[in-house]
Structure 1
Amino acid sequence: MSNNPSSKIDSWQPYHLDHYAQELVLKYRNSENVLNESHKMRMAVAYGLERFWGEHLRLKRDTKNHEKGDYWQDVWQTLQKILESGNIILPHDPIPLNDDKKATEKIKEMSKKIWKMTIEDRRVALMVLTQLCEALVWWTQRYKIPKLTNKGD
């Protein structure tokens, strides 16, 4: 390892997690009850990539939760972008929600792609997702507009 401090700085990559999280929270700040999902995302990470990814589908089935589903999907797409900068490919295929038969096939394909990731890539993806969700919660606590939240949600 080099004693040159600049070589250490050049090799270190923060991946801008905090910046991405701030952008996402600001994007959904004016949407009723959406930012409460940040806390749910943080808890959902423990269940794995497949379950985290699938949550947007459940939320988008219900028109009143469609925007919450968009938030989950945006977080997934942001994770994909972050990981890509580290040469990890995270699947992010679109699912046609208006055609159940096609949706089922695409969900199967997407699940297989996630399971085919190497264990190392999946671990890194989960670690990065965990930190991204922590940052989402932090920014949510600072930017959330109280009148747009519902305690029962």
Structure 2
Amino acid sequence: MAWQSYGLDRAAQKLVLDARQRNSQSLNQAHKMRMSVAYGLERFWGEHLRLQSKEPEKSQFWKETWDTLAKVLNDAGMTLPNDPVSVTNTRQIQAMSEKLWTLTIEEQRIAIAVLTQLCDCIVWWTQRYKTREEE
């Protein structure tokens, strides 16, 4: 079987361009995303909830990144939980978190590896598309 990129670079470019079009300050989240991968899927997923009320554009960048990860993994044959969740609904948050906690170690490792590469691509594109005023 040959190596498959699953379009991560193209997906990352689209995420960065979409975020830039909405609010250039959202691009500053790229490095934070990459650093947060080390803390696990649950924390990465939950960051969009934390940002939702005060910084909705940044929250959207995080959520769209998670949605992209879920799609890429789904295309590869792995299901990553991605339930719709309201920031005010504790039961929904608990249910989604529980689904993430119950992924097998192998599934977690695969998801983290793909998320790491996706975030690396996002950082690369962010560095290319940031203007001086955005730095």
TM-score range for the pair, normalised by the shorter chain length: over 0.9
- Contact kept in structure 1, 2:86 and 2:93, CA below 8 Å: no
Provide the secondary structure at the position in 2 that maps to 1:29. helix
Corresponding residue for residue 23 of structure 1:
14
Q: Quick check: which one's helix share is greater? A: 2
- Length, aligned pairs only: 134
Distance 1:119 1:96 in 2: 27
Provide the secondary structure at the position in 2 that maps to 1:35. helix
1:59-70 to structure 2, matched below 5 A, reads 59-62=51-54, 65-70=55-60
What's the TM-score, normalizing by structure 2? 0.94
1:107-122 to structure 2, matched below 5 A, reads 107-122=93-108
Tell me which moved more, 30-39 or 76-85.
30-39
What's the TM-score, normalizing by structure 1? 0.83
Supply the AA of the counterpart residue of 1:12. W
Distance 2:108 2:28 in 1: 26
Corresponding residue for residue 63 of structure 2:
73
Distance 1:12 1:131 in 2: 14
Match of 2:39 among 44, 47, 50: 47
Match of 2:111 among 119, 125, 139: 125
Say whether 1:141 aligns with 2:133: no
Distance 1:90 1:47 in 2: 17
Give the unaligned 5+ runs of structure 2: none
Give the unaligned 5+ runs of structure 1: 1-7
Deviation at 1:60, TM superposition (A): 0.3
Deviation at 1:61, TM superposition (A): 2.1
Deviation at 1:12, TM superposition (A): 3.2
Match of 1:95 among 85, 91, 100: 85
**Runs of 4 or more off by more than 6 Å in structure 1?**
none
